[in-house]
Structure 1
């Protein structure tokens, strides 16, 4: 028979189960990566019935819910219970670069695998450079485009482009 000698160990296990640790997060540990034109997410859900997994996407937020039920009965006296049971939930913020209408999911060997394609606007692309007036104007200024200086304001409106690394110019 197994014996426990540390009276605070059960409290430590409870705290770890609820809060998790850096090495073993509570709930659903995951890996996510982008490869080519796809974005991939794998969540560890060992011992979860595939019928209990629920996936919802709303406004680029993917919600994963799953339930792990205990394998022992209600009238069983447990000696050690370290595997978490109950409802688990995790939300992933997908951003605007994923096509949420085409996300695919599969579950095998305790791993939930999600794959979503990257939208056309987020794919890298080449921009053609045209010749003519713009190139001559830049060459006249020493090969650099003109940026707003004191007293000049950047263009506003739907066609204006704002550099993410510079604060907006206030007029």
Structure 2
């Protein structure tokens, strides 16, 4: 379902060398997520606390699921920060999906700071019965193994 990103570590090193410390307002940390299968669909839950729901964008293009969001902090004009540990900025996460996903019926909701994306399994990828023909006897049906 997911593929390895060989450039992830290289990007992290480049950001550190260029002065963008992960977790600062300029470079938010990653978007933590969980993913599980429940029956005939997958569910992806991504933590996005404090994100403006209007900034969330979920899209699929050529088998790649892209999640984008923006989190803004209140204007910092005329304030003196005592502590600044909350991350702000753009978040993005991309996942490569297999063709076993029904791309046309992907749905998403955002509640209590959690983005939930439902990825239904395509009909062609679901287990099905296959009829076996024979000579002189009634056909037998066997169930295909689950993937």
| TM-score relative to the length of structure 2 | 0.69
Structure 1 residue corresponding to 2:23, chosen from 12, 17, 22:
17
Q: Say which one has the larger Rg.
A: 1
Corresponding position: 1:60 with 2:63: yes
- Distance across 1 between alignment mates of 2:74 and 2:44: 28
Large movers: runs of 4+ above 6 Å: none
Structure 1 residue corresponding to 2:34, chosen from 25, 31, 34:
31
Structure 2 residue corresponding to 1:124, chosen from 124, 127, 136:
127
Secondary structure at the counterpart of residue 127 of structure 1:
strand
Unaligned runs of 5+ in 2: 1-15, 136-147
Secondary structure at the counterpart of residue 54 of structure 2:
helix
Shift of 1:38: 1.0
Larger strand proportion of the pair: 2
What is the count of residue pairs matched by the alignment? 114
Shift of 1:37: 0.8
Secondary structure at the counterpart of residue 131 of structure 2:
coil
- Distance across 2 between alignment mates of 1:76 and 1:46: 23
| TM-score relative to the length of structure 1 | 0.60
Unaligned runs of 5+ in 1: 1-10, 19-24, 133-171
- Distance across 2 between alignment mates of 1:75 and 1:65: 30
Secondary structure at the counterpart of residue 80 of structure 1:
coil
Structure 2 residue corresponding to 1:51, chosen from 45, 49, 54:
54
What's the Cα RMSD here? 2.2
